[in-house]
Amino acid sequence: MLSFLTRRLLTFVPTFIGVTLIAFAFIRLLPGDPILLMAGERGVSAERYEQLRAQFGFDKPMWQQYLDYVWGIFHGDLGTSFVTKKPVLTEFMSLFPATVELGLCAIILATIIGIPAGVIAAVNRGKFFDQALMSTALVGYSMPIFWWALLLIIVFSGWLGWTPVSGRMGLMYFINGPTGFMLIDSLLSGQSGAFRSAVTHLILPTIALATIPLAVIARQTRSAMLEVLGDDYVRTARAKGLSPARVNGVHALRNALIPVVTVIGLSVGTLLAGAILTETIFSWPGIGKWMVDSIFRRDYQVVQGGLLLIALVVMVVNLIVDLLYGLINPKIRKG
């Protein structure tokens, strides 16, 4: 187990180098000059322009800029936002809980609906429920999320008025809690109605963000279950006189879960990408919206640092998924 962990952690090194290179190169390939952009319509004198270029290190050769950047990373310095003048890491930390809260809610929703739906579809293969579910999943999977999110807003916020249109919290509440998770902080704040407000703000973005993972999880669960249901040990379980619920839900599902966990892990990456759209549409003050805003502002340092941090999060999640395999499948444990 320990050697498995060490070997797994070693694979972080090349991935990390790749991610820093991409983050570094990508933002420099984009058209537009950050200094001119910062100066705005007032413009900037040639002398001042050179001074700023030197200040940000843009006058150095590319490889040196890259090394400076990596050097900084190891000292916890991911750069400073051109716009807000705050360190990138500080900004990230203050916005990250919002994204985690939304992402967690979405993945939980997708899992608790997706897995049972997939199991029921597999057990009733070819029947009405199966076909209805799989068609729905296909629609969910192929639907453009921005359009789906707008549709949700129009129906539930616009016509029905059940949920707020955007943001994380009603305007009459001021929550600046210890955890950064609105659901927890609103409860801790003791302000009446604050929790309710947090929940209602969460509902639509959660549904929008959960849609694609939900479809993927349901389909994966179904196909994994179908594969497993014909296995010998499922027949053994039935030969013990166990109920269908136990045979399918314990004996078969436990073995079908391995590919499903993989998909859930991969969904976390998709989720962070999906968060960019969802957060923008719902004005959700998280990482996704921050990245989009920063790209529009040519805030090099933020985009560079943000990409890296997001990549790190995905890498850590994948590691956790790999460790989970061992829990589900004893064969992998010795690895």
Partner 1 sequence: MALLEIRNLSVEFATHSGKFRAVDGVDVTVDEGELLAIVGESGSGKSVSMLALMGLLPWTATVTADKMEFDGHDLRKISARARRRIIGKDITMIFQEPMSSLNPAFTIGWQIKETLRKHTDLNRSQRQDRAVELMRQVGIPAPEKRLQAYPHQLSGGMSQRAMIAMALANKPKLLIADEPTTALDVTIQAQILELLTDLQRDAGMALVLITHDMGVVAETVQRVQVQYAGQRVELQEVDGLFENPHHPYTAALLAALPERATEKRLPTIPGVVPGQFDRPHGCLFSPRCRFADARCIAERPRPASADLGYALCHYPLIDGLPTGKETAA
Q: How far is the CB of 161 from partner 1 (least distance, A)?
A: 48
Please state the φ and ψ torsions of residue 87, each to the nearest 5 degrees.
-60, 145
| Pair 135, 128: CB distance under 8 Å | no
Binding mask 177-216 for partner 1 (x = CB under 8 A): ----------------------------------------
**CA distance linking residue 81 with residue 34, whole number of Å:** 11
Of 48 and 331, which CB lies nearer to partner 1 in the complex structure?
331
Comparing CB distances to partner 1, the nearer of 124 and 135 is: 124
Contact indicator for 250, 196 with CB cutoff of 8 Å: no
Q: Check binding of 131 to partner 1 (CB under 8 A).
A: no
Among the listed ranges 148-156, 167-175, 237-245, 288-296, the one in contact with partner 1 (CB under 8 A) is 237-245
Residue 4 structure tokens? 């498995």
Binders of partner 1 among residues 273 to 332 (CB under 8 A) are 328-331
User: Nearest approach, Cβ of 319 to partner 1 (angstroms)?
Assistant: 22
Out of 11, 233, 245, 316, the only residue in the binding site for partner 1 (CB under 8 A) is 233
d(CA 142, CA 164): 26
Instruction: Tell me which of 51, 64, 243, 283 binds partner 1, using CB under 8 A.
Output: 243
Number of amino acids touching partner 1 (CB under 8 A) = 19
Cα separation, 256 vs 239, in Å, equals: 20
Q: Are 182 and 175 in contact (CB under 8 A)?
A: yes
C-alpha to C-alpha distance for 323 and 319, rounded to whole angstroms: 6
**Smallest distance from the beta carbon of 250 to partner 1, in angstroms?**
9
80 in helix, strand or coil?
A: strand
Measured from the CB of residue 157, what is the shortest distance to partner 1 in angstroms? Answer: 44
Cβ neighbours for 192, distance < 8 A, ≥ 6 positions apart: none
Binds partner 1 by CB under 8 A, chosen from 145, 152, 237, 275: 237
- Over the window 245 to 284, marking each residue x when it contacts partner 1 by CB under 8 A and - when it does not, the resulting string is ------x--xx-----------------------------
CB of 262 to partner 1, least distance (A): 16
Closest distance to partner 1 from the beta carbon of 237 (Å): 7
Least Cβ distance, residue 58 to partner 1 (angstroms): 56
Residue 204 CB: number of other CB atoms within 10 A? 23
Length of the chain: 335
Binding segment for partner 1 (CB under 8 A), chosen from 48-56, 236-244, 296-304, 309-317, is 236-244
Smallest gap from residue 201 Cβ to partner 1 (A): 40
State the Cα–Cα distance between residues 207 and 162, nearest whole angstrom.
Answer: 14
Can you tell me the distance from the alpha carbon of 160 to that of 178, in angstroms, rounded to the nearest whole number?
34
Is 166 or 329 the residue whose CB approaches partner 1 more closely?
A: 329
Buried b (16+ CB within 10 A) or exposed e, 143-182: bebeebbeebbeebbeeeeebbeeebbbeebebeeeebbb
Q: Which of 286, 323, 300 is nearest to 80 (CA)?
A: 300
State which residue, 7 or 254, has the beta carbon closest to partner 1.
Answer: 254
Query: Which one, 203 or 324, has the nearer CB to partner 1?
Result: 324
Residues forming contacts to partner 1 in the complex (CB under 8 A) are 231-233, 235-243, 251, 254-255, 328-331
